Amino acid sequence: MDAKTLTANWSYPTQVRFGPGRIGELAEACRSVGMGRPLLVTDPGVAALPMVADAVGACREAGLAVEVFSDVKPNPVGKNVDDGVRVFREGGHDGVIAFGGGSGLDAGKGIAFMAGQTLPIWDFEDVGDNWTRADAGAIAPIVAVPTTAGTGSEVGRAGVFLNEDTHTKIIVFHPKMLPSVVISDPELTVGLPPRITAATGMDALAHCLEAYCATGFHPMAEGIAVEGMRLIKNWLPAAVADGSNLAARAQMMAAASMGAVAFQKGLGAIHSLSHPVGALYDTHHGLTNAVFMPYVLVFNRPAIEDKLIRLAAWLELPNPSYRSFVDWVLALRSEIGIPHTLAELGVGRDRIERIAEMAAVDPTAGSNPVPLTPANLEGILLASLDGSV
């Protein structure tokens, strides 16, 4: 497949400029939403890469007074957003370029959201109608530039932030956190090492899989999730094996965005467990999702077996069944180097009870196909530590 043919403009749910070389449109995209002084938000690792220097240089040549903020942790904390807001205000910025993987994208969206607010970010946790507390007119415009194929945050209306005081991850939602323009250029992902490609790709799979299995009626989201999983099945191993495979990179970027569109239907226990583990152990979110995936599938079997039989057939797995799907997940994890147990991420038994209690009240728990309690979540955690599938 010629990657150059994988170029298009979409509106799903926001304006997406997809294809190799589209980063060259960054300055024009900023101007299209009224930015003259954008703040480019990313993480320290991405900030040091030539792609950021090139993007900043191109924007400045086009007359944009762009500056960079990169004090962002891999799991962004409230202070990262607060510091970014201070820089935004002091610099007189009028919009945000959210640039990077999930941390850079979420932090950028959070800074744009909070730039004109007076309440603390935790007051906008995605519970009930908290989002209505925000001054919608004070939210700065956002242009998103993903550099990984995982979170899909570029097409999402929320961000995840760690409250260091409570050691909990909080989802903050507002419709205007959705970026106005997305530039999805697979060339920006070519330099990702295999382990990050694998972990972020499994994050995309977790989004699609949990959206497909989540409770509720949303056939459009389910259809997007199924196609996202097909793309991941066909292209993630190739992207991990050969980082220069631009077609594989492009297909994975599309799948990542599809996962984030699909999970408006809901998520489930994979994320409910990953959030507290990430908060307490600072683990990579996509990698943590990948470890939990087969154990949650086993736990949810009574409610999802029929759906997984259909999914296995759609993915053209041999002898389509619940078991063939679980076996495919296990084989994929092994092929791309995902650890099999939670213990391999440095998680011990000493915090199991606390993790289970946190997971039971996580915002993603309510849409799991089997009701979650601290007791049954402890069972999943023990299986994940022991490797029992």
For every residue of 171-223, DSSP letters joined together read EEE-GGGS-SEEEE-GGGGTT--HHHHHHHHHHHHHHHHHHHHSSS--HHHHH
Q: What is the CATH number of the domain that holds 27?
A: 3.40.50.1970
Q: Are residues 208 and 179 in the same domain?
A: no
Domain interval for residue 368? 192-386
Give residue 119's pLDDT: 96
Q: Are residues 206 and 178 in the same domain?
A: no
Q: Are residues 243 and 141 in the same domain?
A: no
Give residue 12's pLDDT: 83
pLDDT by 10-residue block (mean), the chain, 389 residues: 81 92 98 98 96 97 98 94 98 98 96 97 93 96 96 94 90 95 96 94 98 95 97 98 96 97 96 96 96 98 98 96 98 98 96 97 96 98 95
User: Of 188, 206, 227, which residue constitutes the final position of a domain?
Assistant: 188
Q: Are residues 30 and 137 in the same domain?
A: yes
Question: How many residues comprise the chain?
Answer: 389
In the chain, the number of structural domains is 2
User: Of 167, 188, 209, which residue constitutes the final position of a domain?
Assistant: 188
Give residue 191's pLDDT: 85
Measure the CA–CA gap between 6 and 3, rounded to whole angstroms. Answer: 5
Q: Are residues 146 and 262 in the same domain?
A: no
Measure the CA–CA gap between 36 and 248, rounded to whole angstroms. Answer: 35
Q: Are residues 177 and 207 in the same domain?
A: no
Cis-peptide, bond into residue 13, ω within 30° of zero: yes
Number of H helices, E strands in the chain: 13, 9
User: Of 138, 169, 188, which residue constitutes the final position of a domain?
Assistant: 188
The answer to whether the CB of 43 falls within 8 A of the CB of 70 is yes
Measure the CA–CA gap between 85 and 68, rounded to whole angstroms. Answer: 12
